[in-house]
Amino acid sequence: MKKEEVYIDEIVGYFQANQDRTWIFLDTETLGFQPEKHQMLEVAATAVKLNNAPSFDTLLNYHEKAKLLSVTRLRMSYPYKGKGLSYRDLLKMTKYGEPLKDRVYIEEREMLEQFFSFVESFEDPILVAHNSSFDMRFLNGRHNVYFENKNPYDDYEVLDTLKIMRKYFTAFVTTESKRFKHRWLSDVEEQHILRMRQIRKTLQEKKGKRMSLKLGRVANALGLDDAGCHSAKFDVETLIAVTQVMLNLFNENYDKTVYTEKSFL
């Protein structure tokens, strides 16, 4: 089976080169996959700075939920005959209806306007999301419904943590989990190998199959809480924690060349 070399110092170098910039971790919850048709329910984001630990220091948070549009309520009044999850299923999955502390849900237009102002308030930020193509497509698409400046998020640099995991994290876990536990290895190295094997086992639904890189599954594999997934605020917190753990692993092993097998992509 063909293997490809992957250099961990590439991703470490990227974070180091951009250490002085603001990183905005974000997540959205929506009522479907078509921004021209389905409204956005929730936006959450946390602006952070990367320190030398390395870890992320929080600068500012944003979190709002939108009221249901009249067209959304109208569609919900008809019997659901489509495939997949209904609006009611999606509302339940995303915990829509749960109160925001000392606040009420706001109009979708206001939420989108506020969030764009939040992003604009930082100079040259990097937007970070898991499967970012979905979030950016929806943020642009719903923004375009209400405002004249089209696709404003195209002006920002975006980091997709899903792509990072596919290229670097799976290669790292695959390579390290296959190392042998020789008797001359230190206890630390032996524990590291065992941890990588456990992570790989958790990410693979079946032996020999591709690793699942859903945020909740990765969080669980890294020993982080994944109980609140599909809430934008919780997903942002989880994404920051997952990224920090991965970054620490990469920094500790920055000089390693690892290998990815096609079957794990």
* Cα–Cα distance list, 54 to 12, 160, 249 (Å): 11, 19, 10
Summarised one tens digit per residue, pLDDT across range 146-184 is: 999 999 999 999 999 999 999 999 999 999 988 876 667
Dump pLDDT digits (tens) for 196-252.
Answer: 999 999 999 777 678 999 999 999 999 997 766 778 999 999 999 999 999 999 999
Do 107 and 223 share a structural domain? no
Does some domain include residue 93?
Answer: yes
Q: Kind of pairing, strands 23-30 and 40-50?
A: antiparallel
Last residue of a domain, one of 140, 160, 180: 160
- Domain count within the chain: 2
Using CA atoms, how far apart are residues 24 and 95, in angstroms rounded to an integer? 23
pLDDT in tens, 196-211: 999 999 999 777 678 9
Q: Examine the fold and report which residue of 160, 194, 214 is the final residue of a domain before the chain moves on.
A: 160
Q: Is the peptide bond before 125 cis (omega within 30 degrees of 0)?
A: no
Domain boundary, last residue among 135, 160, 185: 160
Residues 136, 132: Cα–Cα separation, whole Å: 6
Same domain, 146 and 20: yes
On whether both 59 and 140 belong to a single domain, the answer is: yes
Please identify which residue in the block is written with the tokens 């948070």.
Answer: 61
Do 151 and 234 share a domain, yes or no?
A: no
Residue 231 makes CB contacts below 8 A (sequence gap 6+) with 29, 42, 94, 95, 98
pLDDT at 128 over 50: yes
Residue 14 lies in a domain: yes
Question: Domain residues for 31?
Answer: 9-160
